[in-house]
Amino acid sequence: MTPEFELCTLNWETCGVRLTRRTALRALVATGVGLITGPLAYGFAYERHRLRRVDHDLPMSGLPAALDGLRIGFITDIHHSATVGADDVAHAVELLRQAQPDLVVLGGDYVTFGDRTYVDPVAELLAPLADAPLGAFAVLGNHDSDREVFTALDRHRFQVLRDEHRRLTVRNESLDLVGIRFWTRRVDHLTKVLKGAGPHTILLAHDPRRLRQAAELNVPLVLSGHTHGG
């Protein structure tokens, strides 16, 4: 982890994940909005607009041959607002779109403090990502209205998962996407949501602290932001 990630505030990122048979994930990461790498004034005025893309390999066990090369586009913690403008969001969306993901995942906190002013605009800015061949999926963050943000994303063809899962079939191999609400935290609650999911499951959780419960339940991969102590 680089120092700039450790010093992030109001941060968000896009990530293009490529599954490989080498038990790894290939990730293209663009990050920078709200990024603080120096004095507060400098970070707020300049670094929050600096988006870049970085490649990462992340381990994942038990990946079947049929999922080799599958690309998952991930964007989270956008916080579209007066300080995170439409140009920044559009830039991040374009970076992710250029990665040509097979499916797209949105990780929550699309606005700040449920600000209705930006709900429809951010959904519209994200809309180009909904054209991913295998579909586009989303979970909600603690800043998102369960009704209004859900409706806006649903209108733009994102499947919002609220304690539920979807099964995709990729070259005759199943891949389960399980999305949980921000307030779904206990192992027994996650167990109910994961019921019926197969061994190749990706948990979508806005709060990265759900990694602990996911590990107890042998979930091979969690996608989330890195706020909330993550």
- Is position 188 within any domain? no
- 60: in domain: yes
pLDDT per position as a tens digit, 5-36: 222 223 345 566 666 554 444 444 433 333 23
Report pLDDT for 72: 87
Assigned domain for 63 exists:
yes
**Token pair in block for residue 201:** 């499951």
**Overall domain count for the chain:** 1
Could you identify the residue written with the tokens 């109910």?
A: 192
Would the pLDDT of 152 be above 60? yes
pLDDT digits (tens, 9 = 90+) for 160-184: 999 999 999 999 999 999 999 999 9
Residue 209, pLDDT > 50, answer: yes
CATH number of the domain bearing residue 119: 3.60.21
Which of the two residues, 83 and 51, has the higher pLDDT score?
83
- For the ranges 32-46, 140-154, 175-189, 214-228, which has the lowest average pLDDT? 32-46
Q: What is the pLDDT of residue 96?
A: 87
Identify whether 220 is part of a domain.
Answer: no
pLDDT for 6 = 24
Do the domain assignments include residue 228?
A: no
H or E, element range at 76: strand 71-76
Does 74 fall in a domain?
yes
Q: What residues make up the domain containing 61?
A: 3-160
Residue 179 lies in a domain: no
What's the pLDDT score for residue 189?
Answer: 96
Structure-token match 């994303």, residue found: 153
Count the Cβ atoms, other than its own, within 10 Å of residue 159: 16
φ, ψ of residue 163 in degrees (nearest 5): 60, 50
- Residue 227 confidence (pLDDT): 77
Looking at every residue in the chain, the average pLDDT score rounds to: 80
Is 178 inside any structural domain? no
The SS3 of residue 52 is strand
Structure tokens at 110: 């699309």
